[in-house]
Amino acid sequence: MVNRPIKIKFAKQASKPPKPIIQMITNPLERIKSAWQELYPGSEHLGKLEVLLEELENAKKDTPFDAQPEGWYKDAVIYSLYVDFFAGTFNGLTEKLDHLKSLGVNCLWLLPILDSPMRDAGFDIRDYRNIRAELFGFDPNTEATVKQQAFRDFLAEAHSRDIRVIFDIAMNHTSEEHPWFVESRKGPGNPYRDYYIWNKDTNRYKETRLLFKGMCPSNWEKDGEWYFFHRFFEFQPDLNYKNPDVLIEVSRILLFWLSQGLDGFRADAIPYIWKEEGTDCENLPQTHTIIKIFRAVLDHVRPNTLLLAEACQPPKEVVKYFGNGDECHAGYHFPLMPMIFKALAVQDAEPVHNILNPSVTPEISSENQWFMFLRLHDELTLEMVTPEDRAIIHGHYCKDPRWDFRVGEGISARLAELLDRDPRKIALAYSIMLTLPGTPIIYYGDEFGKLNNEKFYESFKLETGKDDTRYFVRGPLDWAAAEHELANPASLTAQVNNALKTQIAVRNQWPVFGRGSKEWATIEITPRSGSEKPLLAYFRSMPGERVLVINNLSDKEITIKAIEDGNTEFTELFTNKVVQTPFTLPPYGYLWLEA
């Protein structure tokens, strides 16, 4: 039988020019005044507002830093790491900056570094202005000012290499060991009592879902004769933003780290920060008003400081955290990640086409940006998928029942484990992430094909008393082993590292990947593939640049017979060689072509 060419037709979904930003009040202080009145109407708290505004004026006057370049985060390649697991200490991380620079990274996302009992990997913050002493190799009793100076020295080293630095600020909750909560639990008469949410019973906020199913039975934790409210672990009490003192305190924390030279903040768990009876306590209007104030704080003191929304929500909800250019600059595209994995599993581009359809992923303004990943560092999140898709993805990738997280809503596994330790599949996944619209994030060790850490998981399970399977994907990076493997070109480490470095080097030469529009490509292929669409192919375009990316999702060789736009000759970006139709892509192969 002769294989006849089949033409794969995609719906015309060329991305339109970015939406213009809706006109808004441009003066940040006026924006703060307006938002404050929405949250705390009347005159009762105006004195506190005046204090905040005065502190902002002083911070702007005292800052030694210029405004950052507009949209710098669009051209970023971000590397996400735990300082201790990646390099031991900040001194070790400084020594590895040249490695990161050679990889092509130009922004570091430091996973939690602030003082913490470390019961939730540092997301349970005990002191927002104090970095953990062990991350510098210091004595635990070292003064905070000494650590702050050491951190400023690290920032200077990173900035000298044109590497920006952002880190996590948990805005929704603190550790139960935070001084505010220590005071709060002393009783109703304590001045810090209203920093948190206390009740005599558990009959408030009953519509609020459990985020940590299988690990926490309730959103309320008994403490003496009272209960306190929490969305995450029971040792992470939620802050009460109905008290304006809380909003001012968090604003001061942002101001402090701006004064140290930090380039941006990942706003952790922001959909939950305002609670209202009779609601699910997610994505409430007051939450957006609070974010507007935080954004205005940054805009006033150091414009273009990144505010990144960590909102595990559908895209139509996430885009609301961009506001009218007055909330977050960027947000994670949570549901795209599992659809990339589904597309690889079923060898069909349709899941990615569907999730990026404008009916699911709304257009965003020219200022804003999606952030992309191949796991939310710790897990392949399945919270934002249908039960049918969850069954497909979980069934295909949860190869060990111990990898299960949150009762089927996530898979805790390293990228190399999920993709069968196959360098072709890993490189293909990176090709997709690095070329679809958005800013890519690489998780530490993935550039070496790092595997799950069984020993680390077992030890932390015993230490914390929590069967948190995310510890499979944490743990120290073995640099000696990685360097040994890099010396062997046939090793998984070397193959993954070489492919990723090559891809990033090309991406960094083409602004179109971070700033251009997208249009699905129509390609004629052979052999016939039935109803499946085994190629994920798209044009990326901006004035002066046009690139065609073709990803072969299948385990079969595919011949490209013709491209819809009629072009028959292209320049391949990795080698600068001319490619003419027809040409062949190997199983799990990919091409980036100048079109």
Active site residue 310: yes
Burial of residue 2, with CB atoms counted within 10 A of its CB: 0-12 exposed, 13-18 middle, 19 or more buried: exposed
Asked if 357 and 13 touch (Cβ cutoff 8 Å), the reply is yes
Residues 6+ apart with CB under 8 A from 333: 315, 318, 361, 370, 371, 372, 438
Cβ density class 269-294: b for 16+ within 10 Å, e for less: bbbbbbbeeeeebbbbebbbbbbbbb
Q: What is the DSSP letter of 75?
A: G
Q: How far apart are CA 120 and CA 122, in angstroms?
A: 5
Asked if 436 and 428 touch (Cβ cutoff 8 Å), the reply is no
- Catalytic residue chosen out of the listed positions 299, 310, 409, 447: 310
Tokens of 145: 């000012």
- In terms of DSSP bridges, do strands 107-110 and 198-199 run parallel, antiparallel, or are they unpaired? unpaired
For 46-143, where are the alpha helices, taking DSSP H only? 46-62, 83-87, 90-95, 97-103
Q: What is the dihedral of CA 67, 72, 77, 81, to 10 degrees?
A: 30
Cβ density class 360-372: b for 16+ within 10 Å, e for less: ebeebbebbbbbb
Q: Phi/psi at 66 (nearest 5 deg)?
A: -80, 165
Going from the C-alpha of 82 to that of each of 87, 152, 170, 267, the distances in angstroms are 8, 18, 16, 17
Q: How far apart are CA 369 and CA 322, in angstroms?
A: 9
- Crossing angle of the two packed helices 423-435 and 492-509, in degrees rounded to 10: 20
Strand partners, 424: none
How many Cα atoms sit within 13 Å of 358 on the Cβ side? Answer: 14
- Crossing angle of the two packed helices 244-260 and 46-62, in degrees rounded to 10: 0
Q: Phi/psi at 235 (nearest 5 deg)?
A: -95, 15
Q: How far apart are CA 184 and CA 198, in angstroms?
A: 9
Active site residue 564: no
* Residue with tokens 């595209």, as numbered in its chain: 333
Q: Is 223 helix (H, G, I), strand (E, B) or coil?
A: strand
Going from the C-alpha of 120 to that of each of 220, 404, 459, the distances in angstroms are 18, 18, 14
Q: How far apart are CA 361 and CA 383, in angstroms?
A: 17
- Catalytic residue chosen out of the listed positions 115, 234, 268, 299: 268
Q: How far apart are CA 570 and CA 454, in angstroms?
A: 46
Q: Is 6 helix (H, G, I), strand (E, B) or coil?
A: strand
For the annotated catalytic residues, the residue numbers are 268, 310
